[in-house]
Amino acid sequence: MTDFAAARRMMVDSQVRTSDVTDPRIIAAMLELPRERFVLQTKADLAYLDFDVPVTQAQHGKPARRLLKPMVLAKLVQAAALRASDHVLDVGCSSGYSSALLARLAHSVTALEEEEALIRLARDNLKAIGADNVTVVAGPLTQGWQATAPYDVMFLNGATEVAPVALCRQLKPGGRLVTVLGRAPTGQAMLYRSVGDDVSGWPIFDAAAPLLPGFAAPPAFVF
């Protein structure tokens, strides 16, 4: 039987701390959160490995949804520089692990998901760990969630092939959005900031992540 507490410590020590993640709040949260609860039961032994572990099965040509690998998740969250007063939108919350982490750092989290099975799973998981400051909502990921906007921080829980300028319109002035731009195996973690009517973004580290549904680039027209 896997010693999940030991695996959790190994994940933090060998993947998170060694990747220049120094925020003690992130480290403490990742040491406490039972990541194994948020993956497929048959994949629980893989929960703390250095890869994007699946939370659904691939079917009918539709790829499996996955948790971001711990290092990428931790570095993105650190780059967002969350404050205890922040209101956060987690786009593509999947089974709820990213929302659970964000909830330890922020005042409130709106967790957006569009797959019904994942919505139920996220609600069950977050209730089980007592994440009372997270609200799971259902809707298209690409549209964000206007009902509880504006947000201090938006977290895209996966990659996008197009700059998320439209989503940034749901940010407060000075708000931040973090994501991975580009399709695996290459990509750049990006930090976007809303300043007045403008959105500026810059790369923060090399990263790859599973593409979020709806965030593929439109097919290029070929003559």
CATH number at residue 113: 3.40.50.150
In a domain, 117, yes or no: yes
Is it the case that residue 51 has pLDDT exceeding 90? yes
In a domain, 89, yes or no: yes
Q: Percent of the chain beyond pLDDT 70?
A: 98
Average pLDDT, the chain: 94
Residue 45: helix, strand or coil by DSSP? helix
Q: How confident is the model at residue 196 (pLDDT cuts 50, 70, 90)?
A: confident
Phi, psi (deg, nearest 5) at residue 71: -65, -45
In a domain, 214, yes or no: no
In a domain, 223, yes or no: no
In a domain, 217, yes or no: no
pLDDT confidence of residue 62: 85
In a domain, 172, yes or no: yes
CA distance 125 to 85: 24
Characterize the bridge pairing of strands 171-181 and 134-138: unpaired
In a domain, 218, yes or no: no
pLDDT, one tens digit per residue, over 68-112 is 999 999 999 999 999 999 999 999 999 999 999 999 999 999 999
In a domain, 77, yes or no: yes
- How many domains in the chain? 1
Question: Treating both helix axes as pointing N-terminal to C-terminal, what angle do 24-32 and 70-80 enclose, rounded to 10 degrees?
Answer: 140
pTM over the 0.85 mark: yes
The residue range of the domain holding 47 is 4-206
